[in-house]
Amino acid sequence: MQPVPLPAPTLVEAVPFIGLLGSIALFPIVAPRFWHRHLGAIALFWSLVLLAPMVPHDGVSGAFAEAWHALLGEYLPFISLLFALYAGAGGILIRGGPGGTPLTNTLWLAGGTLLASAIGTTGAAMVLIRPLLRANAHRTRKFHLVLFFILLVGNAGGMLSPLGDPPLYLGFLEGVPFFWPFRHLLAPLLVFSTPLLGAFWLIDRRSAAEAPAAPPARPLRLRGWSNLALIGMVVVGVLAQSAWQPGAVVLLGQPIAGEKLVTSLAFLALGGLAALTTPRAVYEANLFEWEPIAEVAKLFPAIFITILPVLALIAAGTTGPLAPLITLTARADGTPSVPAYFWLTGIVGGFLDNAPTYLLFFRQAGIDAARLDGAPGDILRAISAASVLFGGLTYIGNAPNMMIRAIAAHRGVRMPGFFGYLARAGLALVPALALVSMVFFG
């Protein structure tokens, strides 16, 4: 579903989007208490900065029509899926298992990377981050566990299905076949994750040498089988969208595909059912909190609204103000540059959130999901891989990152600020990303 373009886009209209992203990056560092208390109001403020000047010209209904379009067509399917996975996975409790040794930690990350494409990066992160931290409670240095967990389980692992990561789900909603990511992104995932797992093992071995001995292994127990069934129903719902297309439904003047609406409502219901039926003792044992998903729910309406002028600027192509950036995606002869799409999508997505960035470059490239042979498929492969793999570059690069950060901080892990995390993540990511670029997009 194409967004409603803003008339005569100018760079000034992108200020609310830039201001929102700057707020996400800086407020948690300079005013963390104010940010956590008022982040919803800050997000609303930047939305109104964009919409309020339109009221005198278009009227209230006209100004807010575009916001409603973004909320209905993009935000509702996005947040409903995240909510269902978050509520369902939060009610799955894993007890016992091996102590935190370099080998078991590495295997845990590898298994989580594979699991993420089946139950989503959000689901896998919520299920696995707490047992990993519990198994390593004896460690004094634990940030590297969280960093590589974000890079692999919270991001790269979602590379093989639309259910795995928000950008690929948005691509699925744009018509990309469900199994396209598995067929075209499996090899890049293996090339990316193998050196990262090796680097993690080396770092963790050094950390383990400085810590007390790991506790003995205990029998692995899982509680929350009903929640696993609910997540299975979410998977069925995602698959059903490509098989059942009843047509568009108009709500308050804006159309939405019927399958999007029905599955979004179903996901909200499944998430609500998980919240109502999960025993409180399970949530308490997981140290489960609603705050991480609440932050995402408050911030992303503003992201999807304020990004509309940026989408319009992208749509203006080489005749618009972003012509210098768009020109970088083409070679001297005018043909698309696949490496440029990979690095631009990744770098922009790492700082702007990878879900809306995926849409930016998907639409700028003029990709038709019904025709993915040849150059369009190569470009989509680069955009998809970059959106997922660069997602762990910053805390705002992907929706699960902030959730993982909040859980780790609550568990006593000293998490660095925005720029401190960026520096450490960049050191880990750049070599693996360069390898992927050289092998697949050179």
Q: Which residue has the higher pLDDT, 399 or 79?
A: 79
**Is 6 among the domain residues?**
no
- How many residues are listed for the chain in this entry? 442
**CA-to-CA distance for 259 and 257, rounded, in angstroms?**
6
In a domain, residue 253? The reply is yes
User: Which has the minimum average pLDDT: 89-93, 160-164, 247-251, 380-384?
Assistant: 247-251
pLDDT at residue 4 in the model: 46
DSSP conformation letters of 263-300: HHHHHHHHHHHHHHHS-HHHHHHTT--SHHHHHHHHHH
Structural domain tally of the chain? 1
CA 300/CA 440 separation, integer angstroms: 32
Q: Is residue 243 part of a domain?
A: yes
Q: Domain for residue 2, yes or no?
A: no
Q: Look at the block and give the residue holding tokens 């059912």.
A: 273
Q: Name, in order, each residue with C-beta under 8 angstroms of 357's C-beta and a sequence gap of 6 or more.
A: 167, 345, 348, 349, 387
CA 60 to chain centre: 32
**Residue 224 covered by a domain:** yes
- Structural domain includes residue 394: yes
What's the pLDDT tens digit per position in 116-161?
998 889 888 888 998 899 889 888 889 999 999 999 999 999 999 9
- Tell me if 254 is assigned to some domain: yes
Q: 3 in a domain, yes or no?
A: no
Amino acid occupying residue 139: R
pTM: 0.80
Q: Could you tell me the residue range of the domain that residue 204 belongs to?
A: 11-440
Span 373-414, pLDDT tens digits: 888 899 999 999 999 999 999 887 887 888 788 888 878 888
Structure tokens at 144: 């590297």
